[in-house]
Structure 1
Amino acid sequence: MLLQHLITFCRVVEEGSFTRAAQVQNLTQPSVTKQVGALEDYLQVQLFTRQGKQVHLTPAGELVYDYARQVLHLVQQCEAAVRELRSPGSGSVTVGCVHTIGLFTLPDLLAEFVREHPKVKINVRTGNNRETVAMLLHGEVDVGLTTTPQIHERILAVPLFEDPLVVVASPGFAANLPPVLADSDLARLPFIGYVRGARFRMTIDQILEEMGIQPNFVMEFDNHEAIKTMVALGFGVAIEPVSAVQRELDSGRLVPLTVPGLPRSSRTTSVILRRGERRSAAVNAFLELLERRYRVSIVRAS
């Protein structure tokens, strides 16, 4: 079994077809088919089933794909370690994170990290919490940043900071409201929020349900930027993480509303790592930045 066979196999899975896998690797389709066939012969299993032009993993294929991704990640780690040995202070760090962290928390961290380590290459991959955990477990990222607690035997999770939820409105909208809002006042306001089914939306729905409020959602979006824009334009109010609206609060484009009946709620942002893994100097340098910024212990804990 050759490393190239695993690379080609993973490419077929990710592209969804032998033809596209051949194109992106600059190979002929028969060559791709031959490499996958050689891998199947070596492992003595069928890796794919075909339905027309579409290919689907068999249960054995799913197992092999999981291990193949880990093997390729280990090879990348080896290459990075050798590069660091040849050129101290270089290397790379791949960070996986949820979208809100990628938009509102990570930029400042990366700016400081790049100033301190200008020769280190930074890669960022975003997804939801479940996808971020999967990327970490499959070796696709070195470090993960999530907004919900993670418990897994292969993962070390270290809380970094609490991110409180706050009700926000535009200054003009807030000017027509009482300085202190009762639950009944909040219930009458138009809400702008995340789309139904999203984890964050479920959190907001639960909070409002505890308050006995059936909210009137007049707009729903799949990202915080759109929500903030509509709130700033005066279309309604929203419950948002402070990290997502801090710049707007600082600039005065949004203002916090005082709602004594709102349960104290926050999201816990954590760094997640694979347990028992040797980490490069570049990755440890990034973790040390997190330690300084949030006054936690990560490197020794891992």
Structure 2
Amino acid sequence: MLDAHLHVFLTVAEKRNFSRAAEFLNLTQPAISQQIQTLEEYYGAKLFERTNKRVELTQAGHVLVPYAQKIMETHHHALQAVNDLTGQVTGKLTIGASLTIGEYILPKLLANFSGNYPKVEPTVKIGNTEVIAEHMLSGTIDLGLIEGPIHNKHLHVVPFLEDEMLLIVPANHMLNRYTEVEVDDVANETFLLREAGSGTRFAMEELLHDLSIQPKRVIQLGSLQSIKEGVEAGLGISFLSKWTIQKEIQLQSIHPVRIKGVRLKRQFSLLNRKGQFASRAVTEFMRVVQETKWEEEK
């Protein structure tokens, strides 16, 4: 079928390599080459320039990409519509999640969902809040789960879980005897931050601004795990979601504290595009997200 060939074409266009595309699609490289050749014969144009190490889209290839994406999206919606009509919850579900949610919240949601709807094939794309919003606008994901604020008239944001950012210090830090500290107690500390565009980074910068704290030194790290390990090693202190530090608190490898008189609350939210087709799988996953109960580990 033509849509299968277009799926191969889009995968090669993304991977820029026939071998990686073959591995990703679980096909042989000759099979990939054959399908691309069939497409080139169908359209009467060369779609890729091949070199030893990578492939590049030709002008015709660049022109075809948005049409191929639209065809695949339409086919996906048609399949879902037929399944919905017959009462089946099947097909593919592509979820975008920001890092905190993707690592610490989404696994439980997927377990709850898959237990009830085993015929749905979920795929997850992880990125910071801005990246997930871009995926949602381009239609490359069915819905998103984000931790940062998004203001776009084309997107619909629905909160589903309250979060609190806690200050974490090393286990041997001088503040580890306290549950609450004054602003002045942390003003001269080194702060570990996520990258720009991260919901965690945004929330932390907002809090530092509200507290009139201008860190003398900031170290930027690319993941939540690297920040936690940095705090454990004494590299600095940081603010992280309460949902991400439950195990470390139990192990007493870090110590959480609050700033007196301050509670940094935020919402984890569902994200979808206004007017976007919602399959039964999307609708049911959104229901699972909103109905799942959460308890902090003691």
What range is the shorter-chain TM-score in? 0.7 to 0.9
How far residue 226 of structure 1 moved from its aligned partner, in angstroms, is 1.9
- In structure 2, the partner of 1:127 is 127
Secondary structure in structure 2 of the residue aligned to 1:136: helix
Q: Deviations over 1:131-169 (max 9, x none)?
A: 323333344322211122334454322122332222112
Aligned residues: 288
Opposite residue 204 of structure 1, the aligned amino acid is M
Question: Is the CA contact 1:95–1:142 (under 8 Å) kept in the aligned structure 2?
Answer: yes
- Say whether residues 1:282 and 2:286 are aligned partners: no
Q: Describe how 1:89-238 pairs up with structure 2 within 5 A.
A: 89-174=89-174, 180-195=180-195, 197-199=196-198, 200-201=200-201, 203-217=203-217, 219-238=219-238
Opposite residue 135 of structure 1, the aligned amino acid is H
CA distance in 2, matches of 1:165, 1:135: 26
- Structure 1 residues 160, 35: CA separation in 2 closer, same or farther (over 3 Å shift)? same
- Say whether residues 1:26 and 2:25 are aligned partners: no
- Structure 1 residues 90, 265: CA separation in 2 closer, same or farther (over 3 Å shift)? same
Q: Deviations over 1:97-142 (max 9, x none)?
A: 1121111111121222233334433322212223323333344322
Secondary structure in structure 2 of the residue aligned to 1:100: helix
Q: Deviations over 1:30-49 (max 9, x none)?
A: 863562475376xxxx9779
Q: Describe how 1:261-276 pairs up with structure 2 within 5 A.
A: 264-276=263-275
Percent same amino acid among aligned pairs? 27
- Structure 1 residues 4, 40: CA separation in 2 closer, same or farther (over 3 Å shift)? farther
- Structure 1 residues 50, 153: CA separation in 2 closer, same or farther (over 3 Å shift)? farther
- Structure 1 residues 30, 77: CA separation in 2 closer, same or farther (over 3 Å shift)? closer
Q: Deviations over 1:277-299 (max 9, x none)?
A: 443333222111123237xxxxx
- Structure 1 residues 89, 31: CA separation in 2 closer, same or farther (over 3 Å shift)? closer
Question: Is the CA contact 2:97–2:132 (under 8 Å) kept in the aligned structure 1?
Answer: yes
Opposite residue 70 of structure 1, the aligned amino acid is K
CA distance in 2, matches of 1:182, 1:50: 61
Question: Is the CA contact 1:84–1:91 (under 8 Å) kept in the aligned structure 2?
Answer: no
CA distance in 2, matches of 1:28, 1:188: 57
- Structure 1 residues 99, 24: CA separation in 2 closer, same or farther (over 3 Å shift)? farther
- Structure 1 residues 29, 286: CA separation in 2 closer, same or farther (over 3 Å shift)? closer
The two structures have a TM-score, normalised by structure 2, of 0.74
Secondary structure in structure 1 of the residue aligned to 2:133: helix
How far residue 229 of structure 1 moved from its aligned partner, in angstroms, is 2.6
CA distance in 2, matches of 1:29, 1:114: 35
Gaps of 5+ in 2: 294-298
Question: Is the CA contact 2:163–2:243 (under 8 Å) kept in the aligned structure 1?
Answer: yes
Question: Is the CA contact 1:163–1:243 (under 8 Å) kept in the aligned structure 2?
Answer: yes
How far residue 72 of structure 1 moved from its aligned partner, in angstroms, is 0.7
Secondary structure in structure 1 of the residue aligned to 2:68: helix
Opposite residue 188 of structure 2, the aligned amino acid is R
CA distance in 1, matches of 2:150, 2:218: 33
- In structure 1, the partner of 2:290 is 291
The two structures have a TM-score, normalised by structure 1, of 0.74
Aligned-residue CA RMSD (Å): 3.9
Secondary structure in structure 1 of the residue aligned to 2:226: helix
Gaps of 5+ in 1: 295-302
How far residue 232 of structure 1 moved from its aligned partner, in angstroms, is 3.4
